[in-house]
Every structure is written in C-alpha cells, then in structure tokens.
Amino acid sequence: MRMAELSEESGVPVATIRYYLREGLVPAGEHTSPNQARYNAGHVRRLKLVRALLEVGGLSITEVRRVVQAIASEAPTLDILDVAHTSLITSKAEGSEEDRAWALSVLEQTAERVGWVLVPDDKSTQALIGLLCTFRTIGHDAMLGDLERYARLAAQMAELDLAALRTPTTPESIVERAIVGTVLGDALFSALRRLAQQNEAKRLYGAE
C-alpha cells in the first residue's frame, strides 16, 4: 500500500508517519521509485504499537526507539527480555548515602525471604532503592511495612507475565509481547488496582 493508504489503515496522519520514519520508530517502506515507497500490514501493526506506547504507555520518542530496536534484535530470549524489562526503567540516584544503605538492606531482606537474587548494580534494584529513599524522604516509610507481601504478589504476577509469553507464536512477537505486557500491562494493572481499591474502600467505609 502507499503512504495515503497506510495513514488511513493505521489512523495516523501522514505527517506523523513521516516523523516516525525519520525517528526510526517505523521501518522504511520498499522503494518503488525515488519518491514513492510501498508499505505492508507490518507497517500498520507497527504504527499502532508505536501510538500505544507513546500515548497509553507514556513513553518518550527515545524510549520507543530503544524498545523498537529490541524488537528487531535477534539476541537470545533472556537478553531480549532483559532489554524489554530494563529499557523502561528510569531510576535516579535519589537519597543520601545513609538512606541508600538502609534501602539496600531492606531490599536484601525482602529478596531473601521471597527467594529472589538481588544484583545491587542492576537497574531495577537501583530504581527500587531510589523509590524506597523517596518514601523515606517524605516521611512515609512506615508504608513499606508490607513490602514483603507486595513482593510476593509481584512474584505471582511475574509468573503470569512470563507464562503468557511462552504461548507459542511467531519469534518476533515474544519480544513485542514482553514490551506490550510491560508498558501497557503496568497501566492495565494500575487501573485494576484503582477499581479494586474503590471496591475495598466501599466495603470498609461505605456504611459510614
């Protein structure tokens, strides 16, 4: 199909598609003449994915590019999953040295109880350390009393997440699904959590 049709099929304006092409978020079409290229169903799919990551997932153009490169790469599954999971983590070095030491020891205890291997330099560990320091800075570290229970729920969820990836499918889509599951899955679970909180709040406070 030509550009005009690609735009209609995907619902993305032509100028936006050209921008995504320049930014490397969508692969180039097959050139049929110096000024004309042909696109296929793969381009339509990719455009919808890019839109979802930007608009629903709230990723930046740079993050989407990193994610799209992971989809295109042919590394072993574990490496690709690692990119999918960690390319989306943004962590800042929050907290004083003392706070960070406290956060690491809290995490180490939790990981040991839940049976996780904790790699201190890892991006996800660093992100968690930063978050724990933030809770402490604003004086809400008492809320972390249930950290182990939340970690156990996260472990149950990760089992569901990874099981969903194992359903046989095309080789490309295991990575794509890992990313969709990570970006949109977080948004979906947050929304489910809101609904659950509302129901629980009604149950607890509804008769007040």
Pick out residues in 144-173 that bind a copy of itself (CB under 8 A): 145-146, 149-151, 153-164, 166-167
x-or-dash pattern for a copy of itself, window 87-126, by CB under 8 A? -xx--x-x----------------x----xxx---x-xx-
CA–CA distance, 150 with 8 (Å, rounded to integer):
44
Do residues 118 and 109 touch, judged by C-beta distance below 8 A?
Answer: no
CA–CA distance, 30 with 95 (Å, rounded to integer):
50
Helix (H) or strand (E) holding 21: helix 14-22
21 vs 165, which CB is nearer to a copy of itself? 165
x-or-dash pattern for a copy of itself, window 183-202, by CB under 8 A? -xxxxxxxxxxxxxxxxxxx
Judged by CB under 8 A, the chain residues 2 through 21 that form the site for a copy of itself are: none
Do residues 178 and 85 touch, judged by C-beta distance below 8 A?
Answer: yes
x-or-dash pattern for a copy of itself, window 30-69, by CB under 8 A? ---------------x--xx--x--xx-x-----------
Instruction: State the DSSP code for 39.
Output: -
33 vs 42, which CB is nearer to a copy of itself? 42
3 vs 180, which CB is nearer to a copy of itself? 180
Q: Which of 77, 101, 105, 172 contacts a copy of itself by CB under 8 A?
A: 77
Tell which residue, 124, 55, 69, 131, has the closest CA to residue 95.
Answer: 131
Find the shortest distance in angstroms from Cβ 66 to a copy of itself: 15
CA–CA distance, 113 with 199 (Å, rounded to integer):
30
Find the shortest distance in angstroms from Cβ 36 to a copy of itself: 27
Q: Does 81 bind a copy of itself (CB under 8 A)?
A: yes
Q: What is the SS3 string spanning 127-170?
A: HHHHHHHHHHHCCCHHHHHHHHHHHHHHHHHHHHHHHHHHCCCC
